[in-house]
Amino acid sequence: MSDVAKDQAAIAARVKALESILIEQGLMTTAMVDRTAEIDENEVGPQLGAKVVARAWVDPEFRRRLLENATEACRELGIGGLQGENMAVLEDTDEVHHAIVCTLCSCYPWAVLGLPPNWYKEPAYRARMVREPRRVLADEFGYAVPERTEIRVWDSSSEMRYWVLPRRPAGTEGWSEEQLAALVTRDSMIGVGSVRAPS
Amino acid sequence: MNGVLDLGGTDGFGPVDHVAEEPPFRAEWEKSAVAMFFPVFRAGWLGIDEFRHGVERMDPVDYLTSPYYNHWVHTMEHYGRARGFLDPAELDRRTQHYLEHPDAPLPAHEPRQELVDFVDAVVFEGAGATRPTDKQPRFSAGDAVRTKSVAPFGHTRLARYVRGKTGEVLAHRGSFVYPDAAGNGLGENPEHVYTVKFDARELWGDDYADRNSSVCFDVWDPYIEHVGEAGGTTA
């Protein structure tokens, strides 16, 4: 057995031991585990953020409210909750490109993007994104930002949860919100990638 | 604390392992580890700031090399033991049992709908950290401020790479639980939170900063002073 598999087996046994104690203490049930997994796998994920972005692209009044108070604007669409109690949306323009990171742990706007991807929580991204964002975006994500555009990296050090409103791609005039939402990627709302090209 | 968790600006980690699509859970135990947050939070084993500080107190090598959700397991176990909710010998005995018998069943129990409802309530209604305070905000957008140059023990959100640096307040965010109190078992002690923008040259020096870039970092009121005031001790 490899070290990694041994580690995994050891952790799995520890977790099961903890879970068994919590069950006997009347604090936890396997139904809670099933419900949590169902939420994280199917209900709360980047499809929610994409819906908000698409609405902002077609509705200037909504976009204004979203930039003014993201938490309240998302609530209009029934979106919000844990790790999204206090959100702020950052609008990309020709002058400024935004990206998010959490150098101290792994804070992330769960309510609109779901659980964070592993690379977001691992040391390399957290260490490098505040120090060499231009290089990280270009070399690690294949996302080159022109030098005339400021890169503004938001280190999520408080309970504010930031995320990015990417620019609407050209060639999507007249598209429906559903069509537009399908172009919005998780990475574009983190600020490390572009939206999908319209086809 | 000056821990390895405080990664901003650390060199040498190599490439980012970017994966375009991946499932939320890589192993079955991760589902239980994530779900376990709800019962221990509900039972008062720990709050969110303590949760983070428990992770921070992992052995630094384990911190950097463990699968991510093992950090969660570590902090929940830490507070369970420290506060007498868990019997360490019993936990070790059960761990050994499940290591030898990975397919051995969990104890039989009823589903208990109110516990599932608690998960839904927390996920969809949230558990926010805004708190009212009588304190007046000392700063407003446009102010030039300097972060204190201090190296506190215990939990803080003042990362090393922004200590003793000068920036501009972009926004006042309201008053929130103060992690330097709550994470160290000292109550919520709410403080105002601001976003401060630092030019990359201020953080890394002209020769090393990425061109035309900046970092926005949120600070609690006690972390900063107006430029010109005494900025704390030299760390």
The answer for residues whose C-beta is within 8 angstroms of residue A182's C-beta and 6 or more apart is A50, A196
The answer to whether A27 contacts B31, with C-beta atoms less than 8 Å apart, is no
A-chain CB neighbours of B215 within 8 Å are 130, 152-155
Q: What residues does B219 pair with on adjacent strands?
A: B194
Domain segments of chain B as ranges: 28-125, 144-226
Contact of A103 with chain B, judged by CB distance below 8 Å, is answered with yes
Locate B106 and state its tokens: 């969990």
pLDDT of residue B230: 55
**Domain at B28-125: CATH code:** 1.10.472.20
Instruction: Please give the helix or strand (H or E) that residue B195 lies within, else none.
Output: strand B191-199
Instruction: Please give the helix or strand (H or E) that residue A70 lies within, else none.
Output: helix A70-76
A-chain CB neighbours of B67 within 8 Å are 7-8, 11
Task: Enter the ipTM.
Answer: 0.96
Catalytic residue, chosen from A74, A102, A156, A188, is A102
Instruction: For residues B84 and B74, give the distance between their C-alpha atoms in angstroms, rounded to a whole number.
Output: 15
pLDDT digits (tens, 9 = 90+) for B155-200: 999 999 999 999 999 999 999 999 999 999 999 999 999 999 999 9
pLDDT over threshold 60, residue B235: no
pLDDT digits (tens, 9 = 90+) for A66-106: 999 999 999 999 999 999 999 999 999 999 999 999 999 99
Domain segments of chain A as ranges: 1-44, 46-190
Burial A67-76 (b: 16+ CB within 10 A, else e): eeebbebbee
Contact of B106 with chain A, judged by CB distance below 8 Å, is answered with yes
pLDDT digits (tens, 9 = 90+) for B52-111: 999 999 999 999 999 999 999 999 999 999 999 999 999 999 999 999 999 999 999 999
| CATH superfamily label, A46-190 | Nitrile hydratase alpha /Thiocyanate hydrolase gamma (3.90.330.10)
Locate A135 and state its tokens: 């290089």
Q: Which of residues 26-65 of A touch B (CB under 8 A)?
A: 26-33, 35-37, 39-41, 44-45
Q: Which CATH number fits domain B144-226: 2.30.30.50, 3.30.930.10, 3.30.43.10, 3.30.360.10?
A: 2.30.30.50
pLDDT digits (tens, 9 = 90+) for B2-25: 999 999 999 999 999 999 889 999
Catalytic residue, chosen from A74, A107, A156, A188, is A107
The answer to whether A30 contacts B159, with C-beta atoms less than 8 Å apart, is no
- Cα separation values, B211 from A48, A148, B14, B103, B226, Å: 34, 9, 21, 55, 26
pLDDT digits (tens, 9 = 90+) for A121-172: 999 999 999 999 999 999 999 999 999 999 999 999 999 999 999 999 999 9
Burial (0-12, 13-18, 19+ Cβ within 10 Å), B213: buried
Is residue A102 annotated as part of the catalytic site, yes or no? Answer: yes
Q: Record the pTM.
A: 0.96
Residue A132: which of B55, B204, B186, B154 has the closest Cα? B204
